[in-house]
Amino acid sequence: MEQLTALDAGFLEAEDSDRHASLAIGAIAVLDGPMPSPEAVADALSERVLTAPRLHQLLHTQPLDLGAPQWVEDPNFDAAHHIRYAALPCPGDDGALYRWAADIMERRLDRDRPLWECWIVNGLEGGRWALLLKVHHCIADGIAATRLLSRLCDDGAMNASGRTRQASMVFSPVGWLGDAWRISTGLPAATVQAVRGALGIVTGLLRPAAASSLTGPVTSMRRYATAEVALDDVATVCREFGVTVNDVALAAITDSFRNTLIRRGEKPSRDALRTLIPVSVRADDAHDRTDNRVSVMLPYLPVDQADPVQQLRAVHSRLSRAKASGQREAGNFLVSAAKAIPFPLTAWTVRALTRLPQRGVVTVATNVPGPRKRLRLMGCDIVRLLPIPPLAMQLRTGIAIMSYADRLVFGVIGDYDTAPDVDELARGIDRAVARLVDISVGHWRSTPVGTLQLVQGG
CATH of the domain at 132: 3.30.559.10
Average pLDDT (363-380) is: 96
Over residues 234-277, the pLDDT tens digits come to 999 999 999 999 999 999 999 999 999 999 999 999 999 999 99
**311 and 415: one domain?**
yes
**217 and 139: one domain?**
no
Residue 194 in any domain: the answer is yes
Q: Quick one: pLDDT band at residue 114, thresholds 50, 70, 90?
A: very high
DSSP state of 66: S
Residue 162 in any domain: the answer is no
Closest alpha carbon to 106 in 17, 225, 26: 26
- What range defines the domain where residue 11 resides? 2-152
**365 and 266: one domain?**
yes
Percent of the chain with pLDDT strictly greater than 70: 85
**292 and 364: one domain?**
yes
**Beta pairing, strands 222-230 & 363-369:** unpaired
DSSP state of 170: -
**197 and 138: one domain?**
no
Residue 450 in any domain: the answer is no
Predicted pLDDT of residue 252: 98
**308 and 234: one domain?**
yes
Over residues 185-219, the pLDDT tens digits come to 555 655 666 676 767 777 777 788 889 999 999 99
Which residue in the list 56, 82, 136, 137 is annotated as catalytic? 137
Predicted pLDDT of residue 168: 39
**269 and 404: one domain?**
yes
137 is catalytic: yes
CA distance 28 to 388: 8
**148 and 194: one domain?**
no
Whether the pLDDT of residue 151 is over 50: the answer is: yes
CA distance 69 to 11: 12
Whether the pLDDT of residue 445 is over 90: the answer is: no
Residue 163 in any domain: the answer is no
| Long-range contacts of the stretch 316-324 (C-beta < 8 A, 24+) | 316/241, 316/243, 316/244, 316/247, 319/246, 319/247, 319/250, 319/277, 322/200, 322/277, 322/297, 322/298, 323/297
pTM: 0.88
| Long-range contacts of the stretch 84-91 (C-beta < 8 A, 24+) | 84/117, 84/118, 84/119, 84/120, 85/38, 85/42, 85/119, 85/120, 85/121, 85/122, 86/119, 86/120, 86/121, 86/122, 87/121, 87/122, 87/123, 88/121, 88/122, 88/123, 88/124, 89/123, 90/123, 91/125
**288 and 235: one domain?**
yes
Whether the pLDDT of residue 32 is over 60: the answer is: yes
Whether the pLDDT of residue 176 is over 50: the answer is: no
Identity of residue 289 = R
Return the beta strands (E) in 35-100 as ranges: 57-60, 70-73, 83-87
Closest alpha carbon to 22 in 262, 220, 294: 220
**194 and 252: one domain?**
yes
CA distance 329 to 192: 10
Predicted pLDDT of residue 325: 80
Residue after which a domain boundary falls, among 152, 172, 196: 152
**127 and 199: one domain?**
no
Whole-Å CA distances, 246 to 78, 275, 312, 368: 40, 13, 10, 10
CA distance 343 to 68: 6
Average pLDDT (365-375) is: 95
Average pLDDT (27-50) is: 96
Q: Answer yes or no: are the C-beta atoms of 227 and 407 closer than 8 Å.
A: no
Residue 281 in any domain: the answer is yes
Percent of the chain with pLDDT strictly greater than 90: 66
**Beta pairing, strands 376-377 & 363-369:** unpaired
Cα dihedral 54/60/65/68 (nearest 10): -30
Residue 458 in any domain: the answer is no
Helix (H) or strand (E) holding 224: strand 222-230
- What's the total number of domains in the chain? 2
Q: Quick one: pLDDT band at residue 164, thresholds 50, 70, 90?
A: very low
**204 and 104: one domain?**
no
Report the chain's mean pLDDT, rounded to a whole number: 87
CATH number at residue 325: 3.30.559.30
Q: Answer yes or no: are the C-beta atoms of 131 and 31 closer than 8 Å.
A: yes
What is the CA angle 432-362-327, rounded to 5?
Answer: 95
Return the beta strands (E) in 264-415 as ranges: 275-280, 294-297, 363-369, 376-377, 380-388, 397-404, 407-415
Residue 321 in any domain: the answer is yes
Residue 133 in any domain: the answer is yes
CA distance 85 to 39: 9
CA distance 186 to 189: 10
